[in-house]
Every structure is written in structure tokens, then in C-alpha cells.
Structure 1
């Protein structure tokens, strides 16, 4: 797959302190990547360098094969940042049209109003919008140029449930058309459901990179649970390779393992009496906290 974003050994220092430390990252076109980390981890600085708003102290950043500051590159990207600034005295439609004018091939105004759920506010002053409506206006502005790469910084803060649903439907549709999407969010359930890939940084360093399932399984392990027959004992289970932990709840047993597929084969091989088998992994939030605490 073609590369949309390439960071090679990138570091950024402020007054001698590294906000980003030797970060290397490749993001292919057409993927949805969630960039996660605690406050102060270096997420905002990383995104700022990808956008060309800041320059790395060392290392190199490529966006769509070029310098992020090049006009030809900027014409193909969109960004929805946390703070939405609106122009006084401009209406919603006028604000969107202003940003449409900056791009070579902008999306139609009516389409932008629809995907941002602002059709009813098109003639309303942008400064009079509620906080959630201003977030949706920021989304319309980010999509104005029909970007190949879209950056979303805490995009659904302040949105109601229906607006969030429409927002993620639009994002998934964009990804389905081959667009690359990089998002930061504190709503980890959103990252889990929408992202193809999770990248976790802490103290400016890369600490985890993989699919949501890989991040959860690699950090929390996975659990096989089943209702055990009368012959199953803790001593019997301890003799089976691949079990990291055993927990009982009456006749229900939960076995933690790094490789539940292999463990299930071993359980059958050893003739363990079991029924109502379930395989589960921990949540992304639990995995995230484990990675950050490490």
C-alpha cells in the first residue's frame, strides 16, 4: 500500500526537554489510525509536526510523499482541531464557503452541511452556534477540500448521540473510499470501534502499535471461560501448558492465556470436560492504562 505519513526518527525539544523522542511511524493510505496517549504524551506535538505547523528538532516528516508545508500537499489534507475559531459576522454557510475557496477541488456546500448535520443552521451566525454545533462546523471545514488525509483531534467532544453516530458513519465512509484518517480521542470505545490501528505514545516514545485486538490481547491477555465438568480441578488445569492464571466462580472457570487458540487445542487434547465455552479479551481502556502505567 502507498504511504500517507512517514516519520523517521523524529524528535522535538522545547527548552531542552523532549516532547517527542526518536519516533518512527509509517501510516499507509486508506487506514484509520487512533493516536492515543495521556495528557502531555506528545500527541499534539506529533500531529503538529505532521501538519507542518512545527518542525522537528531532528528526523524527517513526509506527508503524502512531500513536505507538509508544500501548497500541493496542504491542498490534500484537512484538520479538525480541538479549538474551533469562527469569523465574526459570517453565517455557517458563508464560513464553510470561505474555507472551500482555499481548495482546488472542494466538496459541494450542501454535502458539507449534510454530513455535519448543519442544514438547519446554514443561515445562522457561526458565532451563535452551541459548542457541539461548532464542533460539527469544524468537521465541515476539515472536509471542505475533500482531503486524502484527515486529522481529527478529540472530534466528538460536546456532540450529542445522534451527531456522533452521523459523524462516525461519515468517517467510515471516507475510509471506505481510501482516505487516511488520524484521530486522537479520550473516548477509547470510539477508537476501539472505528480504528484499524492503535498507536500509543507516552513520554514522547512509541509504546504500542497494532490493531485494537492485538493491543488488547498483547497487554491484557485473553480469557477462555467455560462451565467445568466434575472431573476438572485446579491441579488438573495447572498441568496444561499455556495457562497464565486460573479463576473459579462456582463451577465456571476462567483461564487467562496469551494464546487462547493454542490453549483451546490443549484443553481438548487433555480431554477437559467443558461446555458453554467463551473466549474474551480485556477492553482497550484496560490495555491503555496498563501500557501507560508501565
Structure 2
């Protein structure tokens, strides 16, 4: 998709949001192009939800500006450019799924056919069920159906699978993947790091109100060292061996009860060859760090810098 001739889906310029003495978002700038699937990660209190609330027009920045398709967020939302699936949302328990969708559709001057929306959201099979009798996954599918009604170009998802079991999470993301294939821009905040790895084109990591990393999962993990794990089968002290092999004490851990070693090093192949040729180990595995390691490393680094 060529996005150079069109405005970004979201343009955030030097945005700060304060609540009294608390700075929830601190001088954040971010551009998200149309068609991107972006995961917003960060520990609790990092500023993710506050940032998404400003993109949705629920609250205004204390400083800086936000545009959604080159419009103020409230206008973009009112004109149907934005759909949202939030952690919680006011649903009327005594209405059925179908009644809820039809009622909300009647509030919009233009909307997609209700039957099409129900099919795409995967709620047709239980459209006659009352909301209060629906599972958590079914309620999230209802929220997704409501978000799709105006055929929005941008979907904002804030912890959309929180509290869902593994099957419901997979079903939800299969549906999201289909929407991404349609070219829809999707921005989602999640604490399930695997979701970012599996579904996002781009990951933005926030901590203490600031962006500390922005790129693909491969970008985030490229600089991390691999880990070598094995069972130690020699009478030689592994820590003494490590000193002779140029492995520092902070790179190696040894569980003497299980006779397991783990070495974190950029030279896993060379170290593995030395260990194997000397007959010191067996059951060797080499682990490439993933998004979890990148997340913990980068959040820890940013906290150390802040302190």
C-alpha cells in the first residue's frame, strides 16, 4: 500500500498528558500509517490507555497535538473513521446480541448492513442470545461488531482479549487478521506479548509515559544475546571452566541440584563447540531471545536511565 500521498492514520506530535502532578504521557511523538497493524506494549501505568484515550478523543492532551486522518480525534470518531474495542464497555444485559447491534446501527446515518457486520464479527450463531448470558469472548465479539458498524478505517483495541481463554483469544485474533487483510489500520494495546509477536507489523514499547522502542519484533530482538542451556555432566566446576573460556560470572548460571547450566553470550556457537568437544555437557539447546526478553530488557533499561 502506498501511503506517501495520504495523511497518516494517526499523527501524534509532542503530546504530554498530565493529571494533576502525575504525567501519564510525556512528550510522545508517533506516526502510524494507513494499513499498519501496530502493537502498543508496556507495563501497567506506562501510559498506553491514556494515549489511546486521546486518540479516541475521550480526553485532550495537556500539550501537543493529535490528528486522525488529518482531523481532530473527536471529528474522526463522529464521522465514523474510528472504531474501538475496549476492555469494558456499557452493554445492556437484557437485550440480545442482534437487538444491541440493530439499536446502535440506528444511531448512525450510515452503517454497514447489520447481517454483514454480524457475520464478520462472528456473532450470527448466537445473535438471539441475551447479553447477560454471553461468555466474555462473545461479549468481545459483540463489541467488535459495534466497532465495525461504521466501516471504520481505524480500529483501536485496548486489551481486547483480557480475561479470555486461549481458544477465545485465538478466535478473536483470527477475526482481526481478516480485517487487517482488508487494509484496515489496527492499533492494539496488550499485555499478552505473544499477540504482538504473532499479529503486529510494528511494536511500540512505552514505559513511564514515554516511547522507549519502536520497530518490528525482529528489530527489537536483534541486539539481544542468545542463551545456551545444557546439562552439566563433568566433575569440573562449571564456574571455574567459564573463567578459562572467557565467560564472565554474570553470563553463566548453574543449578547444582539439577546440574543445569545457562550461558548468555553472543558467541553461543563457539562456546557450544568447546563444551561439546570437551565432553562437559549433553542435552544442549540454544535459545533465540524473543519479544518477552526484549520487553523486560528495554523496560528495565529505561527505568535505570530514569532513576
**TM (normalized to structure 1)?**
0.79
For the 8 Å contact 1:38–1:202, the answer to whether it is kept is: yes
Which of residues 17, 22, 39 is equivalent to 1:12? 17
CA distance in 2, matches of 1:205, 1:47: 14
CA distance in 1, matches of 2:47, 2:176: 24
For the 8 Å contact 2:96–2:130, the answer to whether it is kept is: yes
Cα-to-partner distance string for 1:252-271 (whole Å, 9 max, x where unaligned) = xx9967xx8xx89xx8xxxx
Instruction: List aligned pairs for 1:134-149, cutoff 5 A.
Output: 134-149=139-154
Instruction: List aligned pairs for 1:26-65, cutoff 5 A.
Output: 26-65=31-70
For the 8 Å contact 1:13–1:20, the answer to whether it is kept is: yes
Residue 225 of structure 2 corresponds to 221
- The 1:50/1:34 distance shift into structure 2, 3 A limit, reads same
Runs of 4+ in 1 over 6 A off after TM superposition: 233-238, 245-248, 254-257
Residue 82 of structure 1 corresponds to 87
CA distance in 1, matches of 2:76, 2:12: 20
**TM (normalized to structure 2)?**
0.76
**Greater mean alpha carbon deviation, residues 28-37 or residues 64-73:** 64-73
For the 8 Å contact 2:39–2:204, the answer to whether it is kept is: yes
**Greater mean alpha carbon deviation, residues 43-52 or residues 118-127:** 118-127
For the 8 Å contact 1:135–1:157, the answer to whether it is kept is: no
Residue 290 of structure 1 corresponds to 297
Cα-to-partner distance string for 1:225-269 (whole Å, 9 max, x where unaligned) = 9xxxxxxx999987xxxxxx7999xxxxx9967xx8xx89xx8xx
Cα-to-partner distance string for 1:100-152 (whole Å, 9 max, x where unaligned) = 23445423323332343322321122233233321221121122222110011
Q: Does 1:204 align with 2:203?
A: no
For the 8 Å contact 2:159–2:189, the answer to whether it is kept is: yes
CA distance in 2, matches of 1:290, 1:189: 16
Q: CA deviation at 1:96?
A: 1.0
Instruction: List aligned pairs for 1:236-251, cutoff 5 A.
Output: none
CA distance in 2, matches of 1:64, 1:21: 23
Q: Give the aligned length.
A: 284
Residue 69 of structure 1 corresponds to 74
- The 1:157/1:112 distance shift into structure 2, 3 A limit, reads farther
Runs of 5+ consecutive residues of structure 2 not aligned to the other structure? 230-240, 255-261, 277-284
- Where 1:75 maps in the other structure, the secondary structure is coil
Q: Does 1:165 align with 2:178?
A: no
**Greater mean alpha carbon deviation, residues 133-142 or residues 160-169:** 160-169
CA distance in 2, matches of 1:38, 1:46: 14
Which of residues 155, 158, 161 is equivalent to 2:160? 155
For the 8 Å contact 2:147–2:155, the answer to whether it is kept is: yes
